[in-house]
């Protein structure tokens, strides 16, 4: 029998920009989030550019410690230096001299201990692999307590008192600030590797007072409650479909009870909150329900809800504080509106709702609220789903309009309260925005009354009150940590993962993977990196949108329009035929391929029921550099919507007429 490699020879892996050199991987249990968490799509980012992948070993014997052993030694040493030859001895002596200058007078209480440098000679191949792993080109390369510092220049740039304090002993090996998906995964993995770990988590209430337990956005106010409410909406449609399939329903109107759903969702979330606390205890991670802030380079002041402050120290710190919703600067916005932080605990049915913003959060919430029977309007400034494929975004808009939702173009300028909300019912508010008069072409102010106004215009990193500026951690304009991989570019003992790391997708599974991989790298010497490309994701709109790889826009930007060929089609899910669902006219899929590389697939897109399940499965094909021919020779499962990817022959061209679906 042929091997997998021979049978699927076209699936030879192309090294990506940040792929690891051959890795020494350890395994970890699957996240309890599962595929549900993939519904948090990435922000708009420039089309990726090609850059060299990891070095390829030439299998020629070379002097030095083997790469795997060298990384282990550097990880376990207090101070280590990688070098390749005797010509680098002078710099190593200079490094030792800088460290020796830190020595205290013997009579000083608790003098700092300056160790001798552990010199680790490696081959030229290992040098390239280590430089790729750390993104440090300086050589010889210095490691302090398992953290890559850089070369002599980078060591000299560190403040002497910081360096001196770094060499001292601290209470913890690692302090994680943020108890969300990524922070918890990292804390548990570090503890599994035998490290002493503390995890701080504290949720500041939203402007209307909403707070929640351990687990972060995904568990409490994101992926999990969103997917459950999305399912509630879908079940409403299934009830109506059931009659077409022969089910006799009780007489009378079928109604949805918001309070029952809310309580069921919150009960499930509470069980997850408790489960995370149990897991931390079982892994011997110290959980501290306090707000952490740097008050020294290796010191955190942790303030609990009673304002009691505890000071703790560590050798390393991981920032995993996530994002919180943004608010526009308009009158009445924080007094009279809610965000996704509040929606899932809302004590009353939301009633007539205005969703402000074109983000996936806005569209997902609008979709499931409308599915539960509420009157929903979405107001957008410009395009939907910025950063996603705009052909797919426009198809989502058309489907949602056909589904019964309203879209307005504009930006709210003022909100006034008409009736105050209570614990049993929503209030009533008037929202104003400028709108173009179709007859005169002039802009005029219009207004409309709503019971609930959901702000979903974006999210920003929670890093302002963590004390990063105090110790010199560089941040981008969007407040995210600027990293060399996950390591701070300015303070080498500070790391960041997930939504607060600049330039990485804002996706829960990404944060979980990044946390685990990072812990194995910095505590176990693993030659392993998180792969931030070709990540499948799904937007849980009423008709789900799944994608992996490049959008049309990014593919054109990266490869040129003439080098792209797009295969596409529409389809009619069998389960929609008898029920005559309107959704059947909107299901669509496409593959974006490279003409000059044997039609390698670089983009996968589908608008369909259960898109998340389909996209997760096909994602591996893109990771393995599949060609269009591989999809063609794959035999489909009949009757499914996913099999449509195995029969694509229509090439998408400008000016084509709208496609029409047909049965099998």
Q: Within a 13 Å sphere around the CA of 109, how many CA atoms are in the beta-carbon half?
A: 0
Dist CA 211 CA 56 (whole Å): 50
Dist CA 181 CA 508 (whole Å): 6
Distances (CA, A) of 59 to 53, 74, 123, 196, 600: 18, 23, 11, 39, 30
Query: Residue 268 catalytic?
Result: no
Dist CA 609 CA 614 (whole Å): 9
Phi, psi at residue 556, to the nearest 5°?
Answer: -65, -40
Residues 6 or more apart whose Cβ sits within 8 Å of residue 278 = none
Enumerate the β-bridge partners of residue 9: none
Residues 6 or more apart whose Cβ sits within 8 Å of residue 175 = 197, 198, 199, 200, 292, 300, 312, 314, 316, 317, 318
CB 615 within 8 A of CB 545: no
Dist CA 194 CA 147 (whole Å): 17
Q: In what order do the strands lie in the sheet with 406-409?
A: 406-409, 376-380, 353-356, 452-455
* Relative orientation angle of helices 124-134 and 67-76, to the nearest 10 degrees: 50
Burial class from Cβ neighbours inside 10 Å (0-12, 13-18, 19+) for residue 561 reads exposed
Distances (CA, A) of 621 to 13, 571, 647: 10, 22, 16
Q: In what order do the strands lie in the sheet with 588-594?
A: 537-539, 544-549, 600-608, 588-594, 564-570
Dist CA 634 CA 533 (whole Å): 24
Dist CA 183 CA 201 (whole Å): 9
Catalytic residue among 136, 170, 399, 638: 638
CA dihedral for 213, 214, 220, 222, sign (positive or negative): positive
Residues 6 or more apart whose Cβ sits within 8 Å of residue 152 = 91, 94, 95, 138, 140, 142
CB 514 within 8 A of CB 188: no
- Of 9, 82, 17, 24, nearest to 47 by C-alpha is 17
CA angle 347, 350, 351 (to 5 degrees): 140
Dist CA 453 CA 327 (whole Å): 12
- DSSP one-letter string for 172-191: EEEEEE--SHHHHHHHHHHH
| Catalytic site positions | 638
């Amino acid at each position: 029998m042929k091997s997998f490699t021979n049978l699927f020879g076209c699936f030879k892996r192309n090294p990506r920009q940040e792929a690891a050199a051959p890795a020494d991987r350890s395994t970890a249990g699957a996240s309890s989030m599962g595929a549900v968490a993939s519904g948090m799509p990435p922000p708009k980012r420039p089309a990726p550019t090609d850059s060299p992948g990891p070095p390829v070993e030439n299998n020629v014997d070379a002097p030095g410690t083997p790469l795997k052993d060298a990384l282990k030694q550097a990880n376990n040493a207090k101070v280590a230096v990688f070098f390749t030859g005797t010509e680098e001895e002078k710099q190593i002596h200079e490094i030792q001299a800088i460290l020796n200058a830190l020595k205290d007078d013997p009579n000083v209480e608790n003098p700092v201990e300056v160790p001798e440098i552990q010199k680790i000679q490696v081959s030229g191949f290992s040098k390239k692999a280590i430089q790729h792993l750390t993104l440090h080109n300086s050589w010889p390369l210095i490691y302090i307590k398992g953290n890559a510092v850089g070369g002599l220049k980078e060591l000299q740039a560190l403040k002497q008192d910081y360096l001196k304090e770094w060499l001292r002993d601290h209470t913890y090996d690692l302090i994680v600030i943020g108890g969300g998906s990524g922070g918890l995964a990292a804390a548990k993995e570090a503890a599994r590797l035998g490290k002493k770990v503390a995890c701080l988590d504290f949720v500041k209430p939203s402007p209307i007072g909403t707070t929640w337990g351990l687990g972060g956005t995904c568990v409490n106010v994101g992926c999990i409650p969103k997917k459950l409410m999305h399912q509630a909406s879908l079940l409403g449609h299934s009830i109506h479909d059931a009659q077409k399939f022969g089910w006799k329903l009780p007489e009378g109107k079928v109604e949805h009870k918001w309070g029952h759903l809310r309580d069921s969702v919150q009960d499930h979330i509470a069980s997850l909150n408790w489960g995370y606390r149990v897991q931390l205890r079982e892994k011997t991670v110290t959980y501290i329900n306090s707000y952490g802030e740097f008050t020294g380079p290796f010191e955190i002041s942790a303030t609990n809800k009673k304002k009691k402050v505890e000071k703790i120290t560590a050798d390393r710190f991981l920032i995993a504080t996530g994002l919180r919703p943004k608010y526009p600067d308009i009158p009445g916005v924080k007094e009279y509106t809610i965000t996704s932080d509040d929606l899932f605990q809302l004590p009353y049915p939301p009633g007539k709702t205005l969703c402000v913003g074109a983000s996936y959060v806005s569209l997902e919430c609008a979709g499931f609220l409308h599915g539960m029977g509420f009157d929903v309007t979405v107001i957008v400034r410009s395009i939907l789903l910025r950063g996603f494929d705009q052909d797919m975004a426009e198809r989502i808009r058309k489907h949602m309009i056909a589904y019964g939702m309203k879209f307005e173009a504009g930006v709210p300028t003022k909100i006034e309260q008409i009736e105050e909300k209570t614990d049993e019912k929503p209030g009533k508010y008037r929202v104003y925005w400028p709108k173009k008069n179709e007859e005169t072409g002039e802009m005029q102010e219009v207004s409309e009354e709503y019971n609930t106004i959901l702000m979903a215009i974006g999210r920003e990193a929670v890093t302002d009150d963590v004390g990063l500026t105090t110790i010199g951690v560089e941040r981008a304009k969007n407040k995210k940590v600027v990293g060399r991989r996950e390591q701070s570019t300015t303070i080498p003992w500070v790391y960041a993962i997930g939504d607060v790391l600049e330039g990485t997708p804002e996706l829960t599974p990404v944060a979980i993977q990044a946390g685990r991989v990072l812990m194995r790298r910095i505590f176990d010497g693993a030659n392993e990196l998180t792969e931030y490309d070709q990540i499948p994701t799904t937007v849980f709109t009423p008709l789900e949108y799944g994608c992996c790889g490049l959008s049309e826009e990014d593919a054109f930007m990266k490869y040129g329009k003439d080098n792209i060929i797009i295969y596409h089609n529409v389809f009619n899910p069998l389960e929609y035929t008898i029920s005559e669902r309107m959704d059947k006219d909107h299901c669509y899929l496409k593959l974006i391929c490279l003409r000059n590389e044997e039609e390698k697939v670089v983009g996968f897109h589908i608008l369909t029921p259960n898109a998340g399940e389909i996209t997760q499965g096909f994602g591996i094909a893109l990771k393995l550099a599949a060609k269009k021919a591989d999809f063609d020779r794959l035999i489909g499962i009949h009757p499914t919507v996913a099999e449509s990817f195995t029969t694509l022959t229509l090439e998408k061209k400008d000016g084509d007429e709208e496609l029409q679906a047909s049965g099998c």
